[in-house]
Structure 1
């Protein structure tokens, strides 16, 4: 993980149970005799996230109703820290901090995870957008309950990403996004089935998986189509955004995305890899 990631050394479950006593009921012992949880249990993951957010990021209230996606906090933190390094390149090698750094989280979701981590770690000012009115409502509740000045905007046009969200007077140092990966509900269900098989388990209810639904998990054309739309629209806001960025789950999509970027002629294109254990993730970034 990133050198500034608070979760590099694993989880201190004793400390986390103090932060969130509800976590204790989900503790199990692994073959090495260490405390852990069942990471296929949504309730256990939510309790863990509540503890992590409270203990490490000062978030006192965090609730996530069904069917919203329950994110892994360490991986989300890595994206924030990598973005800080990207901004540091134009700040004499030091990650900039404070509210003067304004960020737009596209598809912030009900979990609001990136603004919560980014504001706690660097003091950045966040705006989140989402097309789902229920997700917007839940995210607003989390922000308000924690006294955070995070703005949440609803994207009302399902064909748009930045349009209708970035107003004429806005400027953002960066945008970030975890785009929907799958091309359809069927593809998402197949992906969920693979996760269960890899865990050696059969879900009691096939529809109750690891959390998430449209548009969190799928959209027409999947992540490739979504990011291509983002690239096309980014031209319209070239003077209002420093860096446009998006996670890219499928490495094979990079070639097509670079080709799409070349067509809009940005001044800089970067692909930045992040590693969490054996898993390698990445995001693509561009600016005009």
Structure 2
């Protein structure tokens, strides 16, 4: 058993990976396991096949997902960190609901850039029963997400974003109402910066050099012109148009230095409130920003109207 991590208290992975249980439930994982220098069971995280098999086992054991796979070359997300975002979003909703976490399909979440893995809808639906609408610009990602959804007989809506310059436009429809929007935006401003970022990460982990991008990833998953700050700025700009249809807009922010300029952008958008929520994960701290155009009393009313 790995040592305890600093994940959210409700995160099922806060005690690390229970490889004995994972292998018992998914024997195909066993050939990819190995012992680290202190005798703990682990896998080679530079091996894309091993990471995919670990994710398959985690999703089966903890989230009742019988089928999960992604096409070669697509982003293979680390499950524990991803599900932390879900748990902190649940806490954010509880703040508008008398500190009670809302559960059930009446809670609607829009996942921007859902990806081929469908990781947020899979884990969020399992943990809280929320209804997810996943959006992606990549046809291959949508095809993979549909396969995962259909083979697991899940009710998850999927929509294709047809215009690269749009985020909410074209996918939020006139009759929609969402309690949350969420996004893990592309971090880098170019493919060159994405590659350099991966090399720095492997070096800091003592893994040497790797010619592969960390956990794979298509271009749209890893980089866009201007990087995450430009992407989130565009998200804020478009969110104004849908202020009455969404309670909280949120996005992960990988670079702490981006928080200050993003705060200025949010103030110019005249949001009613915004928060920076930190998530301690192992040796690093990640974070997301959340903003709303609804005042505190309006948030409670939105919840009642939509049966939060």
TM-score w.r.t. length of structure 2:
0.91
User: In the alignment, which residue of structure 2 is the partner of 1:4?
Assistant: 10
Segments of structure 1 that go 5 or more residues without pairing to the other structure are none
CA distance in 2, matches of 1:231, 1:36: 40
Over residues 85-141 of structure 1, what are the superposed CA-to-partner deviations in whole Å (9 max), with x where a residue is unaligned? Answer: 000011111110000000000000001000000000000000000000110110011
User: In the alignment, which residue of structure 2 is the partner of 1:115?
Assistant: 121
Asked if structure 2 preserves the Cα contact closer than 8 Å seen for 1:192 and 1:210, the reply is no
Matched, 1:39 2:36: no
Q: 2:27 aligns with which of 11, 21, 36?
A: 21
CA displacement at 1:208 relative to structure 2: 6.0
User: In the alignment, which residue of structure 1 is the partner of 2:167?
Assistant: 161
1:204-283 pair list within 5 angstroms: 206-207=211-212, 209-283=214-288
CA distance in 1, matches of 2:100, 2:22: 31
Segments of structure 2 that go 5 or more residues without pairing to the other structure are 1-6, 294-308
CA distance in 1, matches of 2:16, 2:260: 34
Instruction: Calculate the aligned-residue CA RMSD, in Å.
Output: 1.0
Seen in structure 2, the aligned counterparts of structure 1 residues 232 and 37 have a Cα distance that, compared at 3 Å, is: same
Which piece of structure 1 moves more, 190-199 or 152-161? 190-199
Matched, 1:141 2:147: yes
CA distance in 1, matches of 2:289, 2:245: 18
User: In the alignment, which residue of structure 2 is the partner of 1:52?
Assistant: 58
CA displacement at 1:21 relative to structure 2: 1.0
Q: 1:191 aligns with which of 193, 197, 204?
A: 197
CA displacement at 1:207 relative to structure 2: 4.7
Asked if structure 2 preserves the Cα contact closer than 8 Å seen for 1:115 and 1:150, the reply is yes
- How many residues are matched? 286
Secondary structure of the residue that 2:76 maps to in structure 1? coil
Q: 2:208 aligns with which of 182, 201, 211?
A: 201
CA distance in 2, matches of 1:191, 1:95: 36
